[in-house]
Structure 1
Amino acid sequence: MASSSSSRGMRVTCGPVDDDLLSLQNIHVSQHVWNREEDKRLIARRATPTRTGIAGVPQQIIPLLDQAGFGWITRLNYIKVSPGLLTTLVEHWRPETHTFHMPFGECTITLQDVGMLVGLPVDGEPVLSRGIPNIFGLAEELLGVVPPQSEIKGHRVRLSWLTANFGDIADDIDDVHVLARYARAWILRYLGGVLVPDRSSAYVSLRWLVFLRDFDIIRTYAWGAAVLGYLYRNLCTSTDYKTPTCDGFTLLLQLWAWERFPTILSSPLPPIPPGSPIGLRWSNTATKISMSDDIKFYRKYFDRTTRKSIIWQPYPPVEQMPGDCTQGMQIWGSIIPLLCLCICEWHQPDRVMRQFGCQQPIPNPPMTPTNVHALTLRGKVEDD
């Protein structure tokens, strides 16, 4: 960011000289950092279904999770998210451009990163909110049971109820319809606990069930784009100094930072498991991750970064990656809306062309309007 000063006392101020682009500086957390107010340490909301990755998932439903496109997510072991790293990245995030503004320029997490790191499909049918006349009837149809009212809040169900009722599967159960119900419940747990957790990190919307009916169709939805759009929205809202948490797939953001800025860690990058998304290199139980939680450490680190500090293209050639990682590669560099139920955020890779091996021209004005975070695709209250 640029700064300005007055000749009378050399008063230095934070932020852009011209606010035509970065128009939200007066409410951005970086303004509070500049004013030396008390540091805000963001909390990453998560409720991981299992800390041991695939070893904690019932073996009978693993083929269904793979078929649905969530297999790689289930293979991620629990990895702690550093509040210091998360907080500092949010301080560099600009809601106006959906990019991190660093001393060397802009960088961001894109659809390419989602595919290469965790193997979620980024291209396909939009995960768009649609009318559900009887959400509890949908639960009975696809889960085989209606959650009791004590476990329901609006259209959301407690994750703990899903755990209690669908955590383990008896060894003698082989009915494909019953196993499908368990698989849907586990996908709900990953959605509500890891991929799109809300501020409670205790509930998940039953509206997701409408996308989980047919296991031949589930993976045709652009889950990766939805997850990225939800993360964008929460990074944007977390730039408000008063917001105590950052929701969404914050682990994905941390994996992105580790790949782009590996010197953040004092330990070397572990090898990538053959035939796996790159993010699974951190799921090896033998891998010891040595990282800081100190906000001041990360602030100093990013304040000193140069163009040589970032690895602009950290990933192997696409032909070396599994098909799940490269699905949708034709839209990696596209300016498109990212839809997640009623949320719409813009993917703006034209601002970070160096991440795609191209020279960076002067980008067009960002697609994100100043009031975008007050906009959703909802209709009237309680009406989808």
Structure 2
Amino acid sequence: MGLYGVLRCGFRPIDNHLITALVERWRRETHTFHLRVGEATVTLQDVEIICGLNIKGQPVTGTGMSHTAEEWRKKCVELLGFAPTASLVTGGRLSISVLDTHCIENQIDNDSSDLELLLNILRASRYSWGSGVLSFLYRELCKSSIIGRKIICGPLLILQVWAWSMMTSLSPDVHGFCHIVPAAPDVNDNDYDTILPIAPYGARWARHFSHTHTSTHSVRIIREILYLMEDGQFNWTVYNFEALDVQAFITGHQGEIWRCVCPLICFDIVEMYRSNRWSD
């Protein structure tokens, strides 16, 4: 489905204070953070490398997303093979815990039917998930930069990993290994990547880390760090394209897409991608 990289990146706590300090420097007109060292932003390159999402393909859009609870239950039967009770369906959302419970009670084995209950699972890999995710992130940053706005949602883990990677004065110290996907029994940490495809760059941060030398959870301090940032504290060329976890999720066509000027689409969200502001 093209979402393996997201799974391997896993979930990490979001530093709300870091996000707040970044939002303060976001400019809706340019879709960039205005920093002392210049303009910078999360790009299609970042989304693809950090979480391995495809940036080439069909736009993430469609029609007929407004359904009643009963219609969504029928859609679950069509796509997942079971109908959750109406109380478990909130709008068009279904809790992961509901899927967990269903999968535990209905184990998949060699006698299970072939993918007949997973409609268009191969088609999903042909969507440009990366551009949809970036469109959503841009829209949330624009909405949250309005005076009086107090909440933000969206792919904030990508934004946090981007900030940690680019801004050395905010980057935590990474230690040890942290499982994101359950490994086979009796597999050591050193063997973990031999039983699964390689993880994307963002999985580097799916480890135990500490802020021994950097600040966290303080808007005032992070705001000051951004204000005083010097050229040597922002890494404009953070990715090593010879690294396996970078090479695994890019191919020859990406360079042109990374530098394009085009609208990013996620259903009813359309945000401009202006690479001509930051690329050569």
TM-score by length of 1: 0.59
Distance in 2, matches of 1:310 and 1:269, equals 22
- Contact 1:122–1:222 (Cα < 8 Å) also in 2: yes
Between the aligned residues of both structures, percent identity stands at 30
Which of the numbers 331, 340, 353 marks the counterpart of 2:257? Answer: 331
Q: Deviation of residue 139 (structure 1)?
A: 2.3
Matched letter for residue 288 of structure 1: F
Q: Specify the alignment match of 2:205 in structure 1.
A: 282
Alpha-carbon contact 2:60-2:132 (below 8 Å) kept: yes
Give the whole-Å Cα distance in 2 for the aligned partners of 1:174 and 1:73: 29
The DSSP-based 3-state class of the residue aligned with 1:324 is: coil
* Match 1:222 to one of 124, 128, 131: 128
The one-letter code matched in structure 2 to 1:280 is A
Out of 105, 124, 128, the position equivalent to 2:61 is 128
Query: 1:377 maps to which residue?
Result: none
SS at match of 1:127: coil
Q: Where does residue 164 of structure 1 map in the other structure? A: 101
1:312 corresponds to which letter in structure 2? Answer: W
**For residue 14 of structure 2, what is the amino acid of its counterpart?**
V
Higher relative contact order (CA 8 A, sep 6+): 2
In the TM superposition, residue 165 of structure 1 has moved relative to its aligned partner by 2.6
Q: Structure 1 unaligned segments of length 5 or more: list them.
A: 1-67, 185-212, 359-384
Say what the alpha-carbon RMSD is for the aligned residues. 2.8
For 1:337 and 1:168, locate their aligned partners in 2 and report how far apart those are by CA, in whole Å: 43
Q: Using the TM superposition, give the Cα deviation of residue 172 of structure 1 relative to its aligned residue in structure 2, in angstroms.
A: 4.2
Q: Give the structure 1 partner of residue 227 of structure 2.
A: 303
- Number of aligned residues: 253
Deviation at 1:177, TM superposition (A): 3.9
Q: 2 CA distance for matches of 1:314 and 1:265?
A: 12
State the match for 1:70 in structure 2: 3
**Superimposed CA distance per residue, residues 11-64 of structure 1 (whole angstroms, 9 cap, x where no aligned partner):** xxxxxxxxxxxxxxxxxxxxxxxxxxxxxxxxxxxxxxxxxxxxxxxxxxxxxx
Q: Is 2:168 aligned against 1:262? A: yes
Cα distance in 2, alignment partners of residues 88 and 270 from structure 1: 28
Distance 1:351 1:164 in 2: 48
Q: How does 1:156-195 map to 2 (within 5 A)?
A: 156-166=93-103, 170=107, 172=109, 174-177=111-114
After TM superposition, list the pairs within 5 Å mapping 1:1-384 onto structure 2: 68-131=1-64, 135-166=72-103, 170=107, 172=109, 174-177=111-114, 213-267=119-173, 275-284=198-207, 287-290=208-211, 292-317=216-241, 320=244, 321-326=246-251, 328-353=254-279, 358=280
Q: What displacement does 1:162 show?
A: 3.2
How far did 1:344 drift? 0.9
Q: Note the C-alpha offset of 1:298.
A: 0.6
Alpha-carbon offset, residue 136 of structure 1? 4.3
Distance in 1 (alpha carbons) for counterparts of 2:51 and 2:106: 26
- Corresponding letter in the other structure for 2:232: K
Give the Cα–Cα distance (whole angstroms) in 2 for the partners of residues 160 and 307 of structure 1: 46
Structure 2 length-normalised TM: 0.79
Q: How far apart are the structure 1 equivalents of 2:129 and 2:103?
A: 23
Asked whether the 8 Å contact 2:73–2:89 carries over to 1, the reply is no
> Distance between the aligned counterparts of 1:352 and 1:84, measured in 2?
26
Paired residue type of 2:249: D
Distance 1:174 1:252 in 2: 39
User: CA separation of 1:92/1:167 partners in 2, compared to 1, >3 Å: closer, same or farther?
Assistant: farther
Partner SS state of residue 169, structure 2? helix
The answer as to whether partners of 1:118 and 1:325 remain within 8 angstroms in 2 is: no
- Residues 232, 176 of structure 1: alpha-carbon distance in 2 compared, 3 angstrom cutoff: farther
User: Residues 174, 314 of structure 1: CA spacing in aligned structure 2 closer, same or farther, 3 A cutoff?
Assistant: farther
SS of structure 1 residue aligned to 2:34: strand
CA pair 110-244 structure 1, distance change in 2 beyond 3 A = same
* 2:26–2:145 contact (8 Å) kept in structure 1: yes
Counterpart in the other structure of 2:189:
none
Q: For the structure 1 residues 144 and 106, does the alpha-carbon distance in structure 2 shift closer, same or farther, using more than 3 Å as the test? A: same
Corresponding residue for 1:28?
none
Q: What's the CA shift for 1:159? A: 4.2
Alpha-carbon contact 1:276-1:322 (below 8 Å) kept: no
